[in-house]
Chain A
Amino acid sequence: MEISTKHNHIVRVSKKRQKISKVFIHGFVILFGIVMLYPLLWMVASSFKNPSEIFSSVSFYPSKWTIDNYVQGWAGVSGYTFDSFFVNTLIIVTLAIIGNIIACSMAAYAFAKLEFKFKSVMFALMLLTLMLPFHVTVIPQYIMFNYLDWINTYYPLILPKFFATEGFFVFLMVQFMKGIPNELVEAAEIDGCGRIKTYWYLILPLSVPALVTTMIFTFIWTWNDFFGQLLYISDLKLFTVALGLRMFLDSAGESAWGPMFAMSTLSLIPLFIVFVFFQRYLIEGITTGGLKG
């Protein structure tokens, strides 16, 4: 009897201690989270401030709300406005997504469900390309695209996706498709489906989660891409959001933080929307494929 009450007492004390430590953890994690997000929140709030206030105050709330920064920022530079930058970026992103979905799923189906000679060699090659810094290919690619007269077009940014050059997605889909039971594939074949039909009617519909993850990451990476766009696009007409922001920074300099914050905020909104609606797929992509944001 005595032992059991003592034991209960210990359990109760440790439960209490656990509760206290949990409160501490909550407090710390919340505080640290606020510190982390403060720069972002401050930028969003500052985009509604008068420019002079951005420098003078650390306070969060604008003393007087204004959307002037948005109006001025949206007007862009030299007659090219952010409508065109956003539309251009969306075109590139959409086509990149289509390319990645088609080409990567085809390659992944071959690796995951088909038998052919040299498959393991090919798969090893695919894994090797994952590690390859793109700098060793970018110079000849630039020369090639220049030779084809594709500088100042979107081909260099889009076409590679139709050839599954982003091996991460192939890898992600292979992992996923391997989980589709072979019995299902065999049943489809007994029902008279050829390999192509199996891919289209069975594998693709069942792989939707992996396809969505690929879509999301292609969206984020293409939206955030800067190097490729900087390299291939110099015509203002074709400018993307990233290039528009950078040009804005160069031309207006430090004098225009207000409009710059306004446009920076707008440029992050699409990413944020994707994040809010597809968080589950994002987390899944990070944990299974090691894809980073």
Chain B
Amino acid sequence: MGKFKSFWKDNWIGYLFLAPWMIGLVTLTAIPMGASLYFSFTNYDMFSAPTWIGLDNYTQLFSDEKWLESVRVTLIYVLIGVPLQLTFALFIATLLNKGISGLSLYRAIYYVPSLFGGSVAIAILWRQIFGGNGLINNLLSNIGIEGTNWISNPNTALYTLIVLMIWQFGASMVIFLAGLKQVPIELYESAKMDGASPWKQFSKITLPLITPVVFFNLVMGIIGAFQAFTPAYIVSGGTGGPLNSTLFYTLYLYQKGFTQFSMGYASAMAWFLLLAIAIATAIIFATSKKWVYYQG
């Protein structure tokens, strides 16, 4: 008892300020995590008590074709979308970093899509633009090409969402710009003296020196892309169609958990997602020693 009292006396003020966060950590994070881990081993529909079924939910995942499809769709979205988004971000950031005037105006213009991109409004716009009578097809018909309905064609629907992700490269670009500013200008000057071409300068100076920023953007981009939801929900009207071609992992989780109330199954899905994100992040961290260059 005495020990506890003296602990409290030394530390109470810190814990007082930390109290709201700690209450949140316990009630909104820790307990729910424990609960969802437990649910993932049960059959639970919210209306009757959960029944223990061991690993069944997890093994069922692998024979659930819809789940496998959602994994495939999400992987394509992440593996194509994130690298392309970062490529655009780095390309434009490099151009803007050439000491041109009006930098802050350009930066603002390119950032606007990131600001709006996650909203329902933009997802609605996307549905029109890539629809059968949409903006894209109207533009194409001007040059004599007849486009498909990109949204309702299962071969193209996912790529409209990837375009939407790429369109939002502005936030990563801003981070790249901040990183590029840290590269000492003398390095470029001496490289120019030695007659290095712009591409050489980029690949031998710029790229190595901003690998820490690439690393950061890559990790954040992948974590974010795995969890994307709104665009797929709005563009497909909540179905993930056509033919499950836009069935993002989180959309399927939502359908399972909150329209079919298979809470146990959805919990297993959530834990699998956590695992997937952890593995992806771990791989990037593990390989980072090989390609991320830290100064000093």
- Chain A residues engaging chain B, CB cutoff 8 angstroms: 14, 21-22, 25-26, 28-29, 32-33, 36-37, 39-40, 42-43, 54-58, 102-104, 106-107, 109-111, 114-117, 119, 122, 125-126, 129, 131-144, 146, 160, 162-165, 170, 195-196, 199, 220, 223-224, 226-227, 230-231, 241-242, 245-246, 249-250, 254, 257, 260-261, 263-265, 267-268, 271-272, 275, 279, 282-283, 286-287, 290, 292-293
Contact = CB atoms under 8 A, between A and B. Distances in A.
Contact of B175 (A37, A241, A250, A286): A286
A283 B176 CA distance: 12
Interface centre among A114, A135, A146 (most CB of B within 10 A): A135
B292 interface: no
A165 B24 contact: yes
Interface in B26-47: 27-29, 31-33, 35-36, 39, 46
B91 to A, nearest CB: 10
B90 interface: no
Contact of B121 (A116, A122, A268): A268
A249 B121 contact: no
Nearest to A55: B133
Interface string B103-120: 000111111111111111
Contact of B21 (A106, A195, A261): A106
Given A114-B14, A133-B277, A293-B115, A162 B20 contact: yes
Interface string B212-229: 000010001001101101
A132 B274 contact: yes
Contacts of B270: 133, 135-136, 138-139
Given A131-B223, A140-B36, A275 B138 contact: no
Interface in B235-283: 237, 250, 253-254, 257-258, 263, 266-267, 269-271, 273-274, 277-278, 281
Contacts of B21: 103-104, 106-107, 126, 163-164, 170
A137 B277 contact: no
A62 B257 CA distance: 45
B175 A290 contact: yes
Contacts of A58: 135, 138-139, 142
Nearest to B278: A131
Given A126-B21, A165-B28, A292 B7 contact: no
B124 A245 contact: yes
Contacts of B32: 136-141, 144
A261 B10 CA distance: 59
Contact of A287 (B175, B230, B263): B175
B17 A199 contact: yes
A104 B20 CA distance: 9
Contact of B258 (A25, A142, A249): A142
Interface of B: 7, 10-11, 13-15, 17-25, 27-29, 31-33, 35-36, 39, 46, 92, 95-96, 98-100, 102, 106-122, 124-125, 127-129, 131, 133, 135, 138-139, 142, 167-168, 170-172, 174-175, 178, 192, 216, 220, 223-224, 226-227, 229-230, 233-234, 237, 250, 253-254, 257-258, 263, 266-267, 269-271, 273-274, 277-278, 281
A22 B198 CA distance: 13
Contact of B170 (A14, A231, A293): A293
A116 to B, nearest CB: 3
Contacts of A249: 124, 127, 234, 237
A137 B237 CA distance: 25
A106 B269 CA distance: 35
A118 to B, nearest CB: 8
Contact of B109 (A36, A111, A170): A36
Contacts of B19: 106
Contacts of B229: 226-227
A135 B96 CA distance: 38
A270 B79 CA distance: 33
Interface centre among B22, B121, B138, B254 (most CB of A within 10 A): B121
A131 B277 contact: yes
